[in-house]
Amino acid sequence: MIYLDRDAQLSLVEQMLSQLAGLIQNGQLPPGSRLPSIRKLASQTGVSTATVVAAYDRLTARGLIEARAASGYFVCHHRPQAGRLPLPIPQRSELDAVWLMQQLLQRHSHVTAVGSGFMPEHWLEDMLSSRFLAQFARKGKRAYAAPGAAEGYPPLRSQLSMKLGRAGIPAPPEQLLLTFGATQAMDLICRSLLSPGDTVAVEEPAYFGLYAQLRALGMKLVGVPRLENGPDLAVLEEICSTWRPRLFFTQTLLHNPTGGSTDASTAFRLLELARRHQLLIVEDDVYGDLHPAPNPLRLAQADQLERVILVGSFSKVLSPAIRVGYIAATPELIQLFTEHKILSVLNSSELDERLVCELLTSGSFHKHLERLRARLSHHRAQAVQGLARAGLEPLQRFNGDLFIWARLPPGVELRVLVEDALENGFLLTPGDVFFLRHAPEPWLRFNAAAANDGRLFDYLEQRLGRLAARSQTLPSTLPAPLPATLPQKESAP
């Protein structure tokens, strides 16, 4: 019934979980069926009982099976059904970014967030095992009751300084500030350096949460098209000459949502442009650790933190529940950011910071990243193939990234698909939210791990054609394409 491949990149638990879930969902194990006992299935498949226990526990958590005292494990009679999320989709022409972030952070047993920005939970469990957490909890109990330093846990700042140093970025501890993830880091930078009404330059497309943050703070946003090799420097030059933005926000490595990385030539020309126009650059590096190259070029490395403010986070690769991010910048800027941090949250969580420090000093962090990269490469290749077979057009230029940027086929209205998918148990991330106005074409962002799901491929293959026909009978609500050139002065901020 179950075949396990010990040479596969997926763990034995993941293989067993996937196969059992498939047997249940396709009806081969109907409701009420009794599963083999833990010892029997372990014997049949040649694995330890701990492997079977882990797989059964995850199936139970998903609501697919239930444990009955003294009887064993049985397939549930009432398995989770697809349905709408508690909050309705906003009735605006574009999907609200805050609403989407709220849904991506919630856990819905009946909905799979196939466009999430987080790693699958079971990919992170090995790094945060119960044994490790128990050992960590026994260390330094008294320290957990004391307030942490405003700048962040000193040993972690030292570890982080060494980590950045290996990447060629000179960041001594006094040039580092620990934060509640990258979101707070961006907030501190904006509140410290900007005032309502200031103009900032942002890549387009780019992370929708950044757009929402900047708009909430009253900033005027001007978009710089993201090209295959990085930001469009001709457009940025024109923006700097005309609007004189205070900051430019960019992702050098594994850009969200397209997955591309800025090449060396573009990076150095961008830094020269910044020097000419006295422009500060905020480099978002939250996915940089996943880059497959051994030492990819970051702007902060080429600039040596003169005009670049580097923002990073451990939440993406360790756990979204561990809110530890950081800012690397000049000593003067770090002092300014620290003052704003004190006035907003006083200090960050030293408990989380100690946990991250323990993971870094244990020597297992590097191996953990290698496992994540291998899994991403495997799942991404399969997800790209599955999405293409289902009728989408995924970009395939980049490897190893968490995200897949895919174009919808002609005739399918984006909002119609998002609403229909939600009714069928899939939360999609529409491309519109990654643009300041509207996407020139209907795009979707997929999580390479979460989207590697046969149920999703089957749904898309069955529904895309029908939705295209349905969209042709409805009044068109798709916006006009973005102009190919920079907006005229009267229509820009």
What is the number of alpha carbons within 13 Å of residue 333 lying toward its C-beta?
24
DSSP H helices in 62-142: 97-105, 121-124, 130-138
User: Does residue 482 have a pLDDT over 50?
Assistant: no
Among 154-168, 313-327, 437-451, the range scoring the smallest mean pLDDT is: 437-451
More confident residue, 233 or 119: 233
pLDDT at position 414, please? 85
Mean pLDDT (the chain) is 85
Report the C-alpha gap between 456 and 462 in whole angstroms: 10
Query: How does pLDDT run across 25-77, given as a tens digit for each residue?
Result: 778 888 999 999 999 999 999 999 999 998 898 888 778 898 888 889 999 87
CA distances 48 to 43, 54, 58, 66, 189, Å, are 8, 10, 16, 21, 50
pLDDT at position 200, please? 97
pLDDT bin (cut points 50, 70, 90) of residue 398 is: low
User: Does residue 126 have a pLDDT over 80?
Assistant: no
Query: How does pLDDT run across 290-317, given as a tens digit for each residue?
Result: 998 888 999 999 999 999 999 999 998 9
pLDDT at position 21, please? 85
pLDDT bin (cut points 50, 70, 90) of residue 241 is: very high
Contact (CB, 8 A) for 180 and 314:
no
Residue with tokens 């004190």: 342
pLDDT bin (cut points 50, 70, 90) of residue 491 is: very low
Contact (CB, 8 A) for 302 and 268:
yes
More confident residue, 272 or 71: 272
pTM of the entire structure? 0.76
Average pLDDT, integer, range 428-446: 89
The DSSP line for 234-300 is HHHHHHHHHH--SEEEE--SS-TTT-----HHHHHHHHHHHHHTT-EEEEE-TTGGG-SSSS---HH
pLDDT at position 140, please? 64
pLDDT at position 83, please? 43
Q: What percent of the chain has pLDDT over 70?
A: 88
Tokens of 186: 């961006």
Query: How does pLDDT run across 216-234, given as a tens digit for each residue?
Result: 999 999 999 999 899 999 9
